[in-house]
Amino acid sequence: LLSEERIVEAALKLAGEAGRLENVSMRALAQDLGLPVMTIYNYVANKEALYELVINHVLRQVRIPLPEEGSWEERLRQLERDSRRAVNRCPGVSFDRRGGGAAEATRLADGAMSILASAGFDSTAAALAFATLFTFLLGQIELDATDLAELSATDIEEVTRETQLSRDEVFEFGLDAVIEGLKAMLPQRRSAAGSPRRPSSP
């Protein structure tokens, strides 16, 4: 009996061993499942579809924080943290452009957008803010996947090593900075409602 679940499970295991999901071959995947290679193609159209299956599985575990779970800043922080953890928990997977079309990625994007809307960003500003958060997360996950002292000289790796900074600390600092920056981009809101719009000073 073969299922998508078993395929994903095997793919994740092999991705961990191979370092990268991209260099797990369909042949190796089939062998691990004890199946002829072509049988897998009854479940996934091609290797690209396998990537999507995996990234959907990974992101499905991420929950969108509810409005009552904290301020918009805290909810965004939690969403970003949770997304990073979910991806990093599965070594070898990263969601670059291939993850874009995944249904679960869309769900998380919607969640982030609605949190931003609740913060007072209009749809244009929310799109910009979302792109910033997404972009930061993408880069951070890429950085997390870069292990050991591959980066030489005065690169991040060296500095963070000699200053004893963990990856989590690096992430938290960056996340704080990004959210702080987004807060500054928020059109001036007054605690009193109905404040008239004033032109922003350059």
Partner DNA sequence: ACCTGAACACCGTTCAAGT
**Does 38 help bind DNA (rule: CB under 7 A)?**
yes
**Does 176 help bind a copy of itself (rule: CB under 8 A)?**
yes
Among 85, 156, 187, 189, binds a copy of itself (CB under 8 A): 156
CA distance 102 to 98: 8
Q: Closest CB to a copy of itself among 2 and 159? A: 159
Tell me which stretch binds a copy of itself (CB under 8 A): 42-50, 83-91, 166-174, 190-198: 166-174
**Does 168 help bind a copy of itself (rule: CB under 8 A)?**
no
- How many residues form the binding site for a copy of itself (CB under 8 A)? 54
- How many residues form the binding site for DNA (CB under 7 A)? 15
CA distance 77 to 118: 15
Among 25, 71, 135, 146, binds DNA (CB under 7 A): 25
- Contact status, residue 129 vs residue 116, Cβ threshold 8 Å: yes
Q: Is 57 buried (19+), middle (13-18) or exposed (0-12) by CB count in 10 A?
A: buried
The rounded Cα 128 to chain-centroid distance in angstroms is 17
Tokens, residue 20 = 């990268």
Tell me which stretch binds a copy of itself (CB under 8 A): 6-14, 53-61, 82-90, 100-108: 100-108
- Residue that the structure tokens 């990263």 belong to: 94
Alpha helices (runs of H) in the chain, residue ranges in sequence order: 4-18, 26-33, 47-60, 72-88, 103-119, 123-145, 156-162, 167-185
Q: Which does 128 bind (CB under 5 to 8 A by kind): a copy of itself, DNA, none?
A: a copy of itself
Closest alpha carbon to 35 in 64, 3, 82, 78 = 3
**Does 32 help bind DNA (rule: CB under 7 A)?**
no
**Does 48 help bind DNA (rule: CB under 7 A)?**
yes
CA distance 81 to 69: 15
Q: Closest CB to DNA among 33 and 133? A: 33
**Does 46 help bind DNA (rule: CB under 7 A)?**
yes
Binding stretches for a copy of itself (CB under 8 A): 96-97, 100-101, 105-106, 109-110, 113, 123-124, 126-132, 134-140, 142-143, 145-146, 150-157, 159-160, 163, 165, 169-170, 173-174, 176-182, 184-185
